[in-house]
Amino acid sequence: MVLDPSFLNSINTDLLPVSDAVYNIGASDKRWRTIYAYETRTWTLRFTEAYGGMLHEAHISIDRPPPAIGVGVFKTFVAGESITFWEAVSLHSDGKVYRASPTYPNVIGIAVTSASAGHTLRVLVLGATLGIADEAIHPGSLLTYSPRTPGRLVKYYGHSHVIADYTAAPSYSETLGIALEGVTEAGKMFLVLVLPSK
């Protein structure tokens, strides 16, 4: 359908598509140069750039409905075991993700969906989302996976730390990120800045 362009000069109503998530504004070869808006709400922003003969894309998911909440960079993996949203996950040598623990210490992010073994799982690998504490945590604390409860987070003290009377083995040094808010007890959710590093 082609509209008379003169009506676009003065619009005083909402513009709504007939069906949800079916129609586009512009195309890959016919793009709008600039879009001005007071507020933009979207599920996914996709930035695409071609350089060096390769197409590069970055996806940022924003304002998603629960349980997939987070702002940042997401990646999809296959779950090696049942994983619940908000659990910290590690990438194993088999290419699958598992709940972060001393058994799976290569922590890479936080699950923002749930999945059973063999199914796909979305993981926030850089950005902000919720995590589950396994002890009291202060804002600004460096975080790592809990040696006691797979998928949960604790304060990072270097090569070893203590939770109650449990001393972690001094063999891992992965950090997941930084606590953006505090939490007073285990089992509570809190806001995490996900910045995985060794």
Percent of the chain's residues with pLDDT above 70: 72
In a domain, residue 51? The reply is: no
Residue 19 has pLDDT above 60, yes or no: yes
Tokens at 108, concatenated: 């890479």
pLDDT at residue 25, rounded to an integer: 81
Whole-angstrom Cα distance, residue 125 to residue 106?
Answer: 12
In a domain, residue 49? The reply is: no
* Domain limits for position 137: 71-197
pLDDT band per the 50, 70, 90 thresholds, residue 48 = low
CB neighbourhood size of 192 (10 A): 28
pLDDT at residue 174, rounded to an integer: 73
Question: The domain spanning residue 123 has which CATH number?
Answer: 2.40.300.10
In a domain, residue 29? The reply is: no
pLDDT at residue 142, rounded to an integer: 92
pLDDT at residue 44, rounded to an integer: 59
Which has the higher per-residue pLDDT, 4 or 12? 12
In a domain, residue 193? The reply is: yes
β-strands 71-78, 189-197 pairing: unpaired
Residue 136 has pLDDT above 50, yes or no: yes
In a domain, residue 137? The reply is: yes
Q: What is the pLDDT of residues 55-105, one digit of tens each?
A: 455 555 544 444 446 788 889 999 999 999 899 999 999 999 999 998 998
In a domain, residue 125? The reply is: yes
Q: How many domains does the chain have?
A: 1
pLDDT at residue 50, rounded to an integer: 53
> 4: which DSSP letter?
-
Name which of 25-29, 37-41, 49-53, 58-62 the model is least confident about: 58-62
pLDDT at residue 73, rounded to an integer: 86
Which has the higher per-residue pLDDT, 10 or 60? 10
Which has the higher per-residue pLDDT, 7 or 101? 101
In a domain, residue 46? The reply is: no
Mean pLDDT of the chain: 79
pLDDT at residue 7, rounded to an integer: 66
Distances (CA, A) of 45 to 57, 62, 104: 10, 8, 31
